[in-house]
Amino acid sequence: MVKRDGPIANLRREQKRRKIKKITFAILLIGINVFIYLAVSALFLHMSAFKIEHVAVTGITGGRADEVRKVARGYIEERSYFIFPKYTMVRTPRDIESRLKGTLPWVEDVTASLGRPNTLYVGVTERKPAYLACLSEARNVCYYADRETLVFAEAPAFSAPVYIELSVPWLVSTSSPIMVQLFSGDTPADLIRLRNGMKEINLNVRRFLGTPDGPIRIYTDGGWYVLISKDESVERIMSSITAVTRSDKFTKELSDSRRSLEYIDVRLADKVFYKFVDVVQHE
């Protein structure tokens, strides 16, 4: 039996102490090496040759260019592990497009490239207004929507006569209509084709009223509307509208000052309905 304070026990304690000392020294050495590596790497990446120092914005000017520059600069100043620059001149920051689009709704497309001197070049394409999306007929709250009916900015009151108007009262229930797409699929392009087609037969479209899932009303300058289904083709809708508006019976009723056209319904493929109402005569 080995005594706790005997020579063998003392030897074992000494061996254990030396082993702990070696392990501690090894851990300390590894820590020092890691620190030196991180310090050298950070210094290397912070060198002027690798640091992105400037942001140049092309495609736009003025205040919106400043907005892009601010977002991009905050983006390139991000750090990994609080030390390393996340983005340097070594590689182009590819995800800057999603960052800019997510922050600035009016940005439609982004290209990014690196160039001298230490500059990130950001090319921006703005969304162009194609529609005026209004929450009510009074046009007191309206927004710009692009050709895909994506809402991207508030619109001033004077915009009403310039763009195609979309009445979208259902947006009132949303917290913010910005970045909401009003219609999907081919519907946005079909609305433009319908407006142009009706113009060719001397019918001026004043506004569209509809929901993403329901029928659409096309209001004309005459005060009446055409009721359509989004499932029908533009060609079929235009054929029905043209046929009914050029018929002798319809033309005769339309010219009667005692009657006023309320709507034309072309939702059914094989039938067209329309309704006239009596005009109240004031003595």
Q: What three-state secondary structure class fits 122?
A: strand
Extract the runs of DSSP E, i.e. beta strands, from 21-167.
54-58, 79-80, 84-85, 107-115, 119-126, 131-134, 142-145, 151-154, 164-167
Instruction: Report pLDDT digits (tens) over 93-117.
Output: 677 888 888 889 999 998 888 887 7
- State the burial class of residue 194 (Cβ atoms within 10 Å of its Cβ: 0-12, 13-18, 19+): buried
Q: How far is the CA of 160 from the CAs of 26, 118, 181, 194, 196, in angstroms? A: 75, 45, 20, 19, 18
Q: In the structure, what pLDDT confidence band is assigned to residue 4 with cuts at 50, 70 and 90?
A: low
Q: Is the pLDDT of residue 87 over 80?
A: no
Domains belonging to the chain, first-starting first, are 54-126 (3.10.20.310), 213-283 (no CATH)
User: What distance in Å separates the CA atoms of residue 131 and residue 134, rounded to the nearest whole number?
Assistant: 9
Residue for token pair 């054929």: 239
Determine the pLDDT at residue 35. 61
Instruction: Report pLDDT digits (tens) over 266-283.
Output: 998 788 999 988 876 555
Entry field: residues in the chain:
283
What are the φ and ψ backbone dihedral angles of 67, each rounded to 5 degrees?
A: -65, -45
Q: Is the pLDDT of residue 81 over 60?
A: no
Q: In the structure, what pLDDT confidence band is assigned to residue 202 with cuts at 50, 70 and 90?
A: very high
Take residue 26 and report the two structure tokens written for it: 């090894």
Q: Is the pLDDT of residue 28 over 60?
A: yes
Q: In the structure, what pLDDT confidence band is assigned to residue 86 with cuts at 50, 70 and 90?
A: low
Amino acid at 24: T
User: What distance in Å separates the CA atoms of residue 250 and residue 264, rounded to the nearest whole number?
Assistant: 11
Q: What three-state secondary structure class fits 131?
A: strand
Other CB atoms within a 10 A radius of the CB of residue 228 amount to 25
Kind plus residue range of the DSSP H or E element containing 275? strand 273-278
- State the burial class of residue 139 (Cβ atoms within 10 Å of its Cβ: 0-12, 13-18, 19+): middle
Q: How far is the CA of 217 from the CAs of 12, 82, 131, 229, 263, in angstroms? A: 94, 56, 15, 9, 9
Whether the CB-CB separation of 163 and 143 falls below 8 Å is answered with no
**Percent of the chain at pLDDT above 90?**
27
